[in-house]
Structure 1
Amino acid sequence: MTIDPNKPFNELPLLPPKADIETKTVLKKAITANRALAELKGASRLLPNQNIIINTLALEEARDSSAIENIITTRDKLFRALVTDPRKIDPVTKEVLNYRKALWKGFTEVQKKGFISTNIIIDIQKELISNNAGIRKLPGTVLENDITGEIIYTPPLGESIIYSLLKNFENYLNTNTSNDPLVKLAVLHYQFEAIHPFYDGNGRTGRIINVLYLTFNDLIQLPVLYLSGYIIKNKEKYYQLLRKVTYENNWEEWILFMLNAVETTAIETTEKVNKILDLLNKTALEVKEKLPRIYSKELIELIFHQVYCNINFLVENKIGLRKTASKYLNALASIGVLKPEKIGKEVIFLNTRLYKMFKEKK
């Protein structure tokens, strides 16, 4: 089939693909990718509180996924935003934080309902973009070469056509098949990007669906594996291979790329989890030795929930009243576990070692 990039691809083939998506090379790679995921799942279970990694990694993913769409904010702004007045957060940082909110909305809904529906996907995009535009109804959406401005793909057009394609996507996603789940993930990600159902936020919505799919299939317990960092490093190849599926029906290269993304990211995330656990245990021993009167397991875990904390954070989590919380935070600062920083009239406390860990290059 010859495809004209300037015309809506309303003939986008339905799922499952008719091509062989599980070649020997693909299945061999799927084994190592699944093994890496299993190791991540096991490492995550060792954490005393899963929030320790979820909060920080979700922000890292929000930042990376938004950066792919040229929505750029700093890591520090994001971490600070969790403990500062929402009215003082700049618009770009707010938009990146919307990604985190959309992720959690989707995760909660999927856990509650037991499937990933078109309506859940629409709700995720609505949370992400903060508008009610919904499924595309008007023409004009095209994908262009960033440098030349040349149109490289025009997604399907027509609300009924898009809904029909999404229904097929939903059925394929939620139906058990003989395909390896990670191979299926690669197929689903291509199809969602090819449908391109929204005016804005398709890439970010698609990447949220990836992690929801992994939790839905119990490949990971909680949303802690994010592929956006890998995609940023291999952005040109990512888009090139998407186009190869569309124009050449080349599924193998695309699926291998996604399997490698899962494997590489799972290994990196497992290393991060192990480093966080090691740092948590070392910090607990240090505080127990130097500040035995304020030490508690709950306090140490709480200062690892996110990079910055403040008095309210401790009060809300029932560590103590304001006076006690202030005393604890200042005591931890006195031995170098935390670092106080003043923002206006408020003092926030940075877990310097945890922050340094997230600043390290992957």
Structure 2
Amino acid sequence: MSSYQPPFTLISEIVSLVADISEHIGRLTVQLDQEQQLKLRRINRIRTVTGSLAIEGNTLTEAQVTAILDGKRVIAPPREILEAGNALAAYEQLPNWQGSQQADLLAAHRLLMKGLIDSAGNYRADGVGVMAGSAVLHMAPPASQVPRLMDELFSWLATTADHPLIVSSVFHYEFEFIHPFADGNGRIGRLWQTLLLSHWQPVFAYIPVESRVHQHQAGYYRALNQSTAQTDSAAFIVFMLQRVKEALASVDTADTPMAPLKLPPKLPPKLLSCCKCC
């Protein structure tokens, strides 16, 4: 067993959410045939990519992301088109990656951030801070500590016996706390939770959890900050499991026409952003 144990408290709300989600997954797996799964995979992959990128400020709509997926011309900022194309390619590769392999996470970052930053696929070499305007909300560990911290996190991931719903949420939080990359940490953290969940239950490969996180973007940041302040990721686990439960409920009616992604209230600019530190 790994000697590192991420700090989290198994509160009753977490236990209840795990039970509810597990029951829902069982029903959904029985209800969906192969044709429905293929249809949902396409619809919800678009929702997932649109939502995850929107959290980072990308303005592309679901219709535009659909056009990019279909190889059609889209009139939009080139960087946003590249972000969407990279994200679609990364989510398509989910079945080929192992959640417990650090090399696969680096490969995922390389694909997701290709052409966007020079250090794609490599851990950061500089300090970063999580900012709200000019205020520092979280100073990430020094770059020199990132390899050790990521080794410990992956060692725990490979050996833990905790429930996958809890493990994926804890990993997501710990990953964001370490902030191992110069950019793309949010996108990779959300993608990796989806990967971990899909290895537990394949249906999660097309459950649009990221779009639900986008709809509760302010709550996402609050849960991250609260978990850091309390040195306990229980608040973030609860938040993510609530979004998973909502996403599963949305799949029950996913055979209806795809509705536009509901935008959350406008947040202060760069509530979570990276900056180089002296």
TM-score by length of 2: 0.82
Q: Would you say the 8 A contact 1:190–1:242 is kept in 2?
A: yes
Amino acid of the residue matched to residue 65 of structure 1? Answer: S
> How many angstroms does 1:52 deviate by?
2.1
Q: Which residue of 2 aligns with 1:155?
A: 140
Amino acid of the residue matched to residue 25 of structure 1? Answer: E
Q: Which residue of 1 aligns with 2:265?
A: none
Please list the CA deviations of residues 139-164 of structure 1 after superposition, one character each: whole Å capped at 9, or x if unmatched.
3x21111xx321111111224x2111
Residue identity (%)? 19
Query: Residue 181 and residue 84 in structure 1: after superposition, are their counterparts in 2 closer, same or farther (change >3 A)?
Result: closer
Q: Which residue of 2 aligns with 1:359?
A: 259
Tell me how far apart the structure 2 counterparts of residues 192 and 120 of structure 1 sit (CA, whole Å): 15
Aligned residue-pair number: 255
Tell me how far apart the structure 2 counterparts of residues 222 and 183 of structure 1 sit (CA, whole Å): 15
Aligned-CA RMSD value: 2.4
Q: Would you say the 8 A contact 2:86–2:112 is kept in 1?
A: yes
Tell me how far apart the structure 2 counterparts of residues 182 and 27 of structure 1 sit (CA, whole Å): 10
Q: In the alignment, is residue 193 of structure 1 matched against residue 176 of structure 2?
A: yes
Please list the CA deviations of residues 236-269 of structure 1 after superposition, one character each: whole Å capped at 9, or x if unmatched.
1211121111122243332221211111111112
What are the within-5 Å matches in structure 2 for residues 190-229 of structure 1? Answer: 190-217=173-200, 219-221=201-203, 223-229=205-211
What are the within-5 Å matches in structure 2 for residues 168-179 of structure 1? Answer: 168-177=152-161, 179=162
Tell me how far apart the structure 2 counterparts of residues 247 and 361 of structure 1 sit (CA, whole Å): 31
In the alignment, which of 12, 17, 33 is matched to residue 6 of structure 2? Answer: 17
Tell me how far apart the structure 1 counterparts of residues 240 and 102 of structure 2 sit (CA, whole Å): 23
Shift >6 Å, 4+ stretches: 86-89
> How many angstroms does 1:77 deviate by?
1.8
What are the within-5 Å matches in structure 2 for residues 60-209 of structure 1? Answer: 60-84=47-71, 91=78, 92-110=80-98, 115-131=99-115, 133=119, 134-139=122-127, 141-145=128-132, 148-159=133-144, 161-177=145-161, 179-209=162-192
Q: Which residue of 2 aligns with 1:285?
A: none
Query: Residue 82 and residue 233 in structure 1: after superposition, are their counterparts in 2 closer, same or farther (change >3 A)?
Result: closer
Q: Which residue of 1 aligns with 2:44?
A: 57
Q: Secondary structure at the match of 1:223?
A: helix
Q: Which runs of 5+ in 1 are unaligned?
A: 1-13, 277-356
What are the within-5 Å matches in structure 2 for residues 250-329 of structure 1? Answer: 250-272=232-254, 275=255
Q: In the alignment, is residue 30 of structure 1 matched against residue 18 of structure 2?
A: yes
Q: Which runs of 5+ in 2 are unaligned?
A: 263-278
Q: Would you say the 8 A contact 2:69–2:85 is kept in 1?
A: no
> How many angstroms does 1:207 deviate by?
0.7
Query: Residue 255 and residue 84 in structure 1: after superposition, are their counterparts in 2 closer, same or farther (change >3 A)?
Result: closer
Amino acid of the residue matched to residue 38 of structure 1? Answer: G
Please list the CA deviations of residues 7-59 of structure 1 after superposition, one character each: whole Å capped at 9, or x if unmatched.
xxxxxxx842344x222332122101222233333334x13264322222212
Q: Which residue of 1 aligns with 2:267?
A: none
Amino acid of the residue matched to residue 182 of structure 1? Answer: L
Q: Secondary structure at the match of 1:231?
A: helix
Q: Which structure exhibits the higher relative contact order, with contacts defined as CA atoms closer than 8 Å and separated by 6 or more residues?
A: 2
> How many angstroms does 1:168 deviate by?
1.6
Deviates more, 1:26-35 or 1:167-176: 167-176
TM-score by length of 1: 0.64
Tell me how far apart the structure 2 counterparts of residues 203 and 120 of structure 1 sit (CA, whole Å): 17
